[in-house]
Structure formats: structure tokens, C-alpha cells
Structure 1
Amino acid sequence: MEITPKDSLKYLGVWIDKKLKFSVRVNKTVTRASQTTMALARIMPNIGGPQASKRKVLAAVANSILLYAVQAWSTAIKTKKNRKAYQREQRLSALRICSAYRTAPTEALLVIAEQPPIDLLIEETSYMAWKKNVGSKLGRKLKPKPYSNGKNVGMIMEPKSAGGQKN
């Protein structure tokens, strides 16, 4: 029996490529989430369908597919190609929640759908997993700090200084 090298492998539900870029994982999960969103869109028409609150619950299914094991691959969102793929899927989901036309601006859709941008959601989920698993074991107390990358504004957590002194 001969073992041949492959470009990627699936381990515990996460696709890992040989350069740890996670592009295979992004492509496969975006495709799967898109198929799920479209299947759900077939059962909830834009006109006369369920209310936005029920649509949000169904859209959460696609988000859970996209965010599975985020702490393992969160660095993949730093590449423009991967970020655009995730944003495209989030836009599709927001269109379905809002029952909007495809020409509606993405930022407006996200506000109406009450969804944070996917890149911030990935960073937050990854950080919260780190805080739960590693940060608490380090015995650090964390404090919120305002965050802005030019387009998006939010809060990030950073360690408090020892003895309550400011840095």
C-alpha cells in the first residue's frame, strides 16, 4: 500500500491545506452555507413569507456553518479573497432576512438584519474562545478597549495592567 501526499485533509470537520491558508476550508464551508441559505430561501418566499425574526433564526444555521471551529482558522479571514467569500455569503443571508432586492447596499442590509460584519464576528468569536480556554487559565483580567479599522467600530479586550495602574 502506497501513501500519496494530498493538498488538503479534513480533521475534526476542519479542512487544512498544506500551507495553513485554510482556503480549501473557506471554499467548502462557503459553498455549504450558500446551499443551506438557498434551501432555506426556497421554503420562505420574499413576499408573504415568514417574518424577519423567523428568518434570523434560519439564517443562524448558515452562520453556525461559517463559524464552526473559528479559533482554529480565524487567521484565514486576513486574506482578501477569503474575507470577500465570507462577506458574499453574509450578504446573501442578510438579503433573505430583509426580503430585499439584490441591489440594496450591504451595509444597509446588515444594519436592518441586525448582523455585525462577518470579519468582526469571526474576530470576536475567536477571541471569546481564546479568553475562555487560555485567558482564564492565565489569570488575567481583561478590560474593554475601543477598536476601529476605519470602516468598523467595536470593542476588543486587552489585559488590565497590574495593580490597577494605567499603561
Structure 2
Amino acid sequence: MLLFHGARRAPPQRAHLVIGGVRVEIEATGLRYLGLVLDGRWSFRTHFERLGPRLMAAAGSLSRLLPNVGGPGVVVRRLYTGVVRSMALYGAPVWCHALTRDNVAALRRPQRAIAVRAVRGYRTVSFEAACVLAGTPLWDLEAEALAADYAWRCDLRSRGEPRPGAAEVRARKLQSRRAVLEAWSRRLVDPAYGRRTVEAIRPVLSDWVNRDRGRLTFRATQVLTGHGCFGRYLYLVARREPTPKCHHCSGCNEDTAEHTLAYCPAFAEQRRVLVAKIGPDLSLPTVVATMLGSDESWQAMLDFCESTISQNEVAERERESSSSLSAPCRRRRAGVRRRAFVQLQPL
């Protein structure tokens, strides 16, 4: 038995019912019913506390099947993302009203984990950037849309109207989809993290999410996010470089994704080929919009990223192998050795 009560009240101590001579205690913590954990205050706090670890376990299991280099293609990655999404949004019309800050956080952590794997990104890629690149709207927004669709059906039923046809249901889903994307775009106006990526994709968010072609590779995601084999990232985030300077040219004190894409003279030949396909403006918003315009532009960007980032990776490995200051485990970068090296570093 479960007693529902207000936020300022609690069930009486030792409250119970007697049914057929059997004493039934009234639960205060929660009651599992049809896959949902109900609590007395109708806050679903216990439900999300239990749901979060389940979603992370599912995302972690699927992530092991989605390596950054190689592995399944974009269709399989979208399928696996949809599996975790379905688990997260089960019963959304029931608990949608309880999307508190803590409950939303329980949804965002697994969504970020699976989105990072879907786009083949580094684990340091922010939640906002990973979701935008993966084209997965925020699950709390989708929960609100599902609740609105359910309320729409209930309203039709209460008025005695006939069951909506396939065309009407399809139109309603398209309307809900547009509403979710518009709400998502408004939230992306001032992102806390991943600003460079978000500002590049937000103007064409609908086209990016609804595109039916174009894949992201491990090295293309590095250029789009700035999290990859760049001096600034290796210095500030990965802490694998003593300075953020560019090792390919002498005039740059901070090697960034923008520097690699538009300025570094070491990649002038690759850049010439890219400019011939997408035009002279290599600012990231323009590049993203042009990529969506044609398959040739998309492939030209992928080719540029593969060539330049591969060259950066080779140079980084050579620096680590030749440096006398680099520990042996850093030179090999094996998994167990790398974790052991990290544990030895000062906090």
C-alpha cells in the first residue's frame, strides 16, 4: 500500500490497513508499478534514482560495441542511441510533471555517454556539443512532447471524437518534432560548454538533425569539437603537452581546431583542395552549412580532417617516443600502463 500526500505532509507513523485480517503496512519509500516507481509525494525521485544507474549500465554496455575508430556505422549507432532513449522515456507522460533539476540530471548523464559514442568523440566532449552533433534532442524536452501527445489523445477521447487516422497522427508527430527542435534551439542560445560547436550547428539545427546522409568520423569530430590532437587540448585538458603551441609552424602560440582548419601553413595543400569544394570561408558555421549542401562538400571536409589529424597524430607519437621526459607507459600508451601512469600524477 502507498499513501499519496502533499510536500509538507508525511504519512502517519506506523499507518496500516487490515484487509481480511491481514495487516498491510503503508509504504513511505515507494511502490513499483508497471515499471515505474511511485512515491508518496508523486515526485518520482526514487524512480530516477533507480533509473539513472540502469541507463548508465545500458549506455556503457552499448558503448563497448561502438569504438571511435572502425566499428558499426551511423545507422547502428543511431539504433543503439534509440535503445537507451526508449528506456529513459518509458512512462514519460506519467512522470513528465516531475522533471526537477535532479531528475533531469539523471537523464542527461546517460544521454551524454551514448551521444559521445554515437559521434565517435572524446570523453571530454560536453553534453551540449555531443547531443547537437549526434542530433539527439534533450530527453526532458522529448518527454514533455510525449506527454503533450498523450494529453491530445485523451482530449479527443473525452470529447467522443473518432480515433485519429494515420495521416493525423503523422501530422501531430511532425508538429511535436518541430516544437522540440524549437525549444532545443532556444536552450542552445547561451550554452555553458561546447559553445564553438553549438554556435556552428544551431543556425542549421533542423537540417542537421533531420539529414538522411552524411556520417561523422573520429577525426572529423575532433575538428568540429576542438577536442582532439591539437596543442591547446593536449595542454589544457589532456595535459600531454608542455605548451599549447603548434608544432607545425613557428608563428602560432596556440594550436586549435580553427588554426588547423583555416590557418596552419603545414596543411596548405589539403586546405586548397577543401577550398575548391566548399569556398574560401572556412569559419566553422559556414563549413557546417556547406557540408549540409552537398555530398561532395561533406566528403571534402571528411578528407581534410582525415589527412590533417592523421598527420597530427603521427607527429604526436613521434614526440612522445623521442622525448626523454616521457615515461615509457606514455610512449606506448597501452590501456593498463596509461591508467597506472595517471594514478601516479599529482592531484
Q: TM-score range by the shorter chain?
A: 0.7 to 0.9
Structure 1: which amino acid aligns with 2:46? Answer: V
CA apart distance, 1:26? 1.0
Q: Which of 58, 66, 69 is 1:44 aligned to?
A: 66
Partner of 2:123: 102
Amino acid of the residue matched to residue 125 of structure 2? Answer: A
User: Per-residue deviation at 1:23?
Assistant: 0.8
Q: TM-score normalized by structure 2?
A: 0.40
The match for 1:63 among 85, 108, 112 is 85
Residue identity opposite 1:136 in structure 2: L
Partner of 1:151: 187
d(CA) in 2 for partners of 1:92, 1:20? 28
Larger radius of gyration, structure 1 or 2?
A: 2
For residue 55 of structure 1, report the CA deviation from its aligned partner: 0.8
Paired position in structure 2 for 1:76:
98
Report which of the two has the higher share of strand: 1
Instruction: Give the structure with the larger helix fraction.
Output: 2
SS across alignment from 1:43: coil
1:84 CA displacement: 1.3
- Map 1:113-132; keep pairs closer than 5 Å: 113-132=134-153
- CA separation in 2, counterparts of 1:56 and 1:119? 19
Considering only aligned residues, what root-mean-square deviation do their CA atoms show, in Å? 2.6
Cα deviation for residue 152 of structure 1 reads 5.4
What residue ranges of structure 2 are gaps of 5+ in the alignment? Answer: 1-21, 162-171, 190-347
Paired with 2:188 and 2:30, the residues of 1 have a C-alpha distance of 33
Structure 1, unaligned runs of 5 or more:
154-167
> Which residue of structure 2 lines up, in the alignment, with residue 18 of structure 1?
40
Cα deviations across residues 81-123 of structure 1 (Å, max 9, x unaligned)?
1111111121111111111112212222112111111221111
Q: Partners in 1 of 2:67 and 2:89 — Cα distance? A: 26
The sequence identity of aligned pairs, in percent, is 28
What is the DSSP-based 3-state SS (H/G/I as helix, E as strand, rest coil) of the residue aligned with 2:104?
helix
CA contact (8 A) 2:56 2:109 kept: no
Matching residue's letter, 2:113 = L
Per the normalisation by structure 1, the TM-score is 0.78
Distance in 2 between the 1:42 and 1:107 partners? 22
What corresponds to 1:135 in structure 2?
155
- Structure 1 segments of 4 or more deviating over 6 A? 143-147
CA distance in 2, matches of 1:30, 1:76: 15
Q: Distance in 1 between matches of 2:39 and 2:65?
A: 35
Q: Which residue is equivalent to 1:35? A: 57
Of 96, 101, 111 in structure 2, the residue corresponding to residue 90 of structure 1 is 111
Structure 1 equivalent of residue 13 of structure 2: none
After superposition, give the CA deviation of every residue in 1:36-93 in whole Å (9 maximum; x if it has no partner): 111111223222111122111011111111111111111121x111111111121111
